[in-house]
Structures are given as structure tokens and as C-alpha cells.
Structure 1
Amino acid sequence: MKVTEHITKANGKSLFSFEILPPLKGQNIQSIFDSCDPLMEFNPPFIDVTYHREEYEFKELPNGLLQKKIVKKRPGTVGICAAIQNKYGVDAIPHILCGGFSKEDTENFLIDMDFLGIENVVALRGDAVKSETYFKPEKDGNEYASELVSQITNLNKGIYLDEDLQNTAATDFCIGVAGYPEKHMEAPSLDSDIYFLKQKIKNGADYVITQMFFDNKKYFDYVDKCRAAGITVPIIPGLKPISTKKQLNQIPHRFSVDLPDDLVMAVVKAKDADAIKQIGIEWCIAQSKELVKAGIPVLHYYSMGKAGNIRQIAKEVF
């Protein structure tokens, strides 16, 4: 079922969903099931599965040449989506990126998803890998998420890259895209960011999932700005509980997200790691309850493969 259909069917009830990332290469899928099992009692209508580009570094050889060495891999998005749908009977939503894909790679990926009965995808540009200062699109690939959305929309119309194909079958994907309540880190302003979000909607996107935020006012203000700009699709809030003191520095740096002073100081003054984790859980519970009270259709949690704190939050909210 499509995400938009799940929202309609819920008839005003706030739904619970979460996101997982594939295990590092060499690990097995049981780690995925271990992170999903504790959360299934909250009846998630869908589970997002991220896609990760290979990360690599360059090593200098004795002859002075540079050798490209892959240092981190997280393959398996397609297989994980199939396994989740088979094991749990819920919709799995793969993320698909511009980075690392040619347009033909994208088309083949989408064909695989269609054959597996997957009805939703999240279309993302993707971030620059560590070896890049700025994002570089794949040769013959989509440069922006809006272009990727257009390609998926074309496939939904039966328009393939090979114009000579006859009697083509149309796909029927529901397309999600990312939104940034505090603007994307590369955007010059929030208004310009919303302008380009509107382009993604115009090109065929059906719903938005936001970057994490820790101040609900920023989400509500963002939704108001999007509505004023003519964006009418569902805007699903993305939530993540703070769990370590390191995240006070990592999250603002990596995601360009502000942390409220009250949250920061509570974590700074916490006596140990368990206390920090509990502070993060309680803050996210308060966020979640306010969002549910406001009638937000879906709350989406970034679990990062760790179900314990998300489960504690869900028990109090759903």
C-alpha cells in the first residue's frame, strides 16, 4: 500500500514508522530483524531502508600513484526490503540516490522494486562522500533529487530511457522526498530550499519526510511556510532521540541542526551515559506527544538500528 493510502486509511490517527540502515558488509540480516522485532508491536505501516554509497579513501603506493580503496560498504537495500515485506507483511520503502547511480542504474533498480511488489520509494540526492568536498553526481546520472523524481514519474507513465521499447509497462510508485525544517546545509536560505522542494512536488513527489529536528516550533513553522508556498502533500516529521554526549557536537556539524539550550544543558549536566540516554528519550516523548496532539499523520523515527530507545518512546506515545 502507498504511504498516502496508509495516511488516508488511518482517518486522522497518528501512525508510527521508523528507518533502518543496512548492516555493514559481512554481517547478516538477523541484525535487521533484531532491530525491527521490538518495534513491530506498534504496527508500523511502513519501514524505510536507507541506501548507502560506498565510502573510500586514497592510499599512496610506493611508486607515488594513488590507489582507491573502499573502506565501508552497506549493500543489501533491495534484499532487506524484500525480506521485511516477506517476514512482517508491512511495506518496505527503499531510499534511492542520485549519487552512485547512472540513470540506467536507477531504472534497473526501480524495475527490481516494481517486480518485488514495492509501491513506495524515497528519492534523495544523497550527500557527498568523505573524499568529496561537494556532491558529485554519477556520470550519466541525475544531479538533483528533482531530476530523480522526474525519472520515477516518467517510469510511472511507462516512459523508459530506451525510447524504442514497445508496449512498456508503467510502474506505480508513491514517491517520498526529503524536507529540511532548518534548511539543507547547502541551501542559501530556507525560502530557496522550499522553492526547490516545491519543484520536487511539481515533478511528482507525493509526500515529504523531514530531517530530524529537536524543536517542534521549527517543524510547525516549516509546514506553515510550505503550505503558504502551495505545497499540500503530507509532511512527515523525522525524529531522533539524543543518546550520547558526542551527539551534541556531531548532530549540528553533520546535519546543520540546532539543539535547544535546555536539551544541551540537561545532557551536559547528566551524571552518566544512562542519564543522557533517558534525557533523550524523555525529550523525544514530549516532542512526539505534541505532534500527535496536533494531528500529524505519521511520526517517523531514525532508529539507526537501535530499537531500545525508540521502543521506550513508542510505548508512551502510541
Structure 2
Amino acid sequence: MKVTQHIENAQGKSLFSFEILPPLKGQNIRSIFDSIDPLMEFNPPFIDVTYHREEFEFKELGNGLLEKKIVKKRPGTVGICAAIQNKYQVDAIPHILCGGFTKEDTENFLIDIDFLGIQNVVALRGDAIKSEIYFRPEKEGHHYASELVTQIDNLNKGIYLDPDLQNSAQTDFCIGVAGYPEKHMEAPSPDSDIYFLKQKIRNGAEYIITQMFFDNKKYFDFVAKCRAEGITVPIIPGLKPIATKKQLNMIPHRFKVDLPDELIMSVVKAKDNDAVKQIGIEWCIQQSQELLKAGIPVLHYYSMGKAENIKAIAKEVF
């Protein structure tokens, strides 16, 4: 079932969903099930599965020569989605990126998941890999998420890359995209960020999932700006509980997200990471409860493969 249908069928009741990471290469599907099992009591209608680009590693060969090697550290997004739908009978939503894919790779990826009965995708540009300063698309790939959305929407219309195909089947994907309450790190301004988000909606996206935020006012302001610009699709808030002191520096640096002073000082004064984890849980519970009172259709949690703190939040909220 499509995300938009899940929201419509809920008839005003807020839904619980979460996102997982594929396991590192060398681990098996059991590690995924172990992170999902504790959360199934909250009846998630769908579970997002991230996709991770290949990284480059360099090996010294001597005499100043380097060997460039492609390393895929977290494979398995499509297989994990198939396993989730088979085991739990809930919709699995793969993330699909511009980076690391040619347009033909993208089309083949979409054909594969369509064959699996997957009806939802989240279309993302993807971040630059560690060896890049700025995002670099594949030679025959997409530069922007809006272009990727167009390709998916074209497939929904039966338009494939090969113009000579006859009687081509239409897919029926519900397309989600990312939104940034504090603007994308590369956007020159919040207004320009909304402009490009609106373009993704015009190209066929049907719902938005936000980057994490820790101040609900930023989410509400973002939604108000979107509505003022004529964006009417559901805007699902993405939430993540702080779990370690290290995240005070890592989250603002990696995601360009601000943390409220009250949360920062509570974490700074915590005696250890167990105390930090509890602070993060309580803060996220307060965020969640305020969002539920506002009638938000879905609360989406970035679990990062850790179910314990998400379960503690959900028990108080759902």
C-alpha cells in the first residue's frame, strides 16, 4: 500500500514509522530482524531502508602509486526490503540515490523492486562520499533529486529510457522526497530550498520526510512556508533521540542541524552516556507528544539500527 493511502486510511490517527540501516558487510539479516522485532508492537505501516553509496579506498602500491578500490560497506537494500515485506507483512520503502547510479541503473533498480511488489520509494540526491568535497554525479546519472523524481514518475507513465519499447508496463510508485526544516546544507537560503522542494513535488513526489530536528518550532515554520508556497502533500517529521555526548558535535557538523541550548546543557552536564540516552529519550517524547497534539499524520524515527530508545519513546507516545 502507498504511504499516502496509509495516511488516508488512518482517518486522522497518527502513525508510527521508522528507518533502518542495512547491516555492515559480513553481518546477516538476523541483525535487521533484531532491530525491528521490538518495534512491531507499535504497528508500523511501513519501514524505510536506507541505501549507502560505494566508497573509495586507496592502497599504496609503492613508488608513490595508489590503487583505487570501490568498497560497498552496506549492501542489501533491495533484499532487506523483500525480507521485511515477507516476514512482517508491512510495506518496506527503499531509498534510491542519484549518486552511484546511472539512469539505466536507476531504471533497472526500479524494475526489480516493482517485481517485488514494492509500491513506495524515497528519492534522494545523496551526499558526497568521503573522498569528495562536493557531490559528484555519475557520468550518465542524475545531478538532482528532482531529475530522479522525474524518471520515477515517467516510469509510472510507462515511459522507459528506450523509446522503442512497445506496450511498456506502467509502474505505480508513491514517491517520497526529503525536506529540510533548517535548509539543506548546500542550499544558499531557506527560500531557495523551498523552491527546489516545490520542483520535486511538481515533478511527481507525493510526500515529504524531513531531516531530523530538535526544535518543533522549526518544523512548524517549515510546514507553514511549504503551505504558503502551495505544497499540499503530507510532510512527515523525522525524529532522532540524542544517545551520546559525541553527537552534540557530530550532528551539527554532519547534518547542519542546530541543537537547542536546553538540550545541549542537559547533555553536557550528564554524568555518562546512559544518562545522555535517557535525556534524549525524554526530549524526543516531548517533541513527539507536541507533534501528535498538532495532528501530524506520521511520526518517523531514525533508529540507526538501535531499537531500545525508539521503543522507550513509542511506549510513551503511541
User: TM-score surpassing 0.5?
Assistant: yes
Secondary structure of the residue aligned to 1:61 is strand
- 1:109-147 per-residue CA deviation (whole Å, 9 max, x = no partner) reads 000010000000000000000000000001101110000
Cα distance, 1:271 vs. partner? 1.3
Cα distance, 1:25 vs. partner? 0.8
Secondary structure of the residue aligned to 1:26 is coil
1:139 equivalent to 2:139? Answer: yes
- 1:130-168 per-residue CA deviation (whole Å, 9 max, x = no partner) reads 000000001101110000000000000000000001110
Cα distance, 1:100 vs. partner? 0.3
1:198 aligned partner: 198
- What code does the residue aligned with 1:239 have? L
- 1:283-316 per-residue CA deviation (whole Å, 9 max, x = no partner) reads 0000000000000000000000000000000000
1:314 aligned partner: 314
Give, in whole Å, the separation in 1 of the partners of 2:172 and 2:220: 31
Structure 2 unaligned residues grouped into runs of 5+: none
Give, in whole Å, the separation in 1 of the partners of 2:120 and 2:307: 23
Secondary structure of the residue aligned to 1:172 is coil
- What code does the residue aligned with 2:180 have? Y
Cα distance, 1:38 vs. partner? 0.2
Cα distance, 1:64 vs. partner? 2.1
Give, in whole Å, the separation in 1 of the partners of 2:272 and 2:134: 37
Counting only pairs closer than 5 Å after superposition, residues 176-191 of structure 1 correspond to structure 2 as: 176-191=176-191
1:300 equivalent to 2:270? Answer: no
Give, in whole Å, the separation in 2 of the partners of 1:86 and 1:26: 22
Please identify, of 61-70 and 156-165, the stretch whose mean Cα deviation from structure 2 is larger.
Answer: 61-70
Give, in whole Å, the separation in 2 of the partners of 1:273 and 1:134: 33
1:229 equivalent to 2:229? Answer: yes
Cα distance, 1:13 vs. partner? 0.5
Cα distance, 1:61 vs. partner? 1.9
CA RMSD in angstroms, aligned pairs only: 0.7
Give, in whole Å, the separation in 2 of the partners of 1:33 and 1:25: 16
1:130 equivalent to 2:140? Answer: no
Is 1:51–1:95's contact at 8 Å kept on the other side of the alignment? yes
Counting only pairs closer than 5 Å after superposition, residues 253-292 of structure 1 correspond to structure 2 as: 253-292=253-292
Structure 1 unaligned residues grouped into runs of 5+: none
Cα distance, 1:72 vs. partner? 5.1
Give, in whole Å, the separation in 1 of the partners of 2:195 and 2:71: 36
Secondary structure of the residue aligned to 2:62 is coil
Secondary structure of the residue aligned to 2:107 is helix
Give, in whole Å, the separation in 2 of the partners of 1:18 and 1:246: 23
Cα distance, 1:59 vs. partner? 2.9
Give, in whole Å, the separation in 2 of the partners of 1:273 and 1:149: 40
Is 1:19–1:49's contact at 8 Å kept on the other side of the alignment? yes
> How many percent identity over aligned positions?
86
Number of corresponding residues: 318
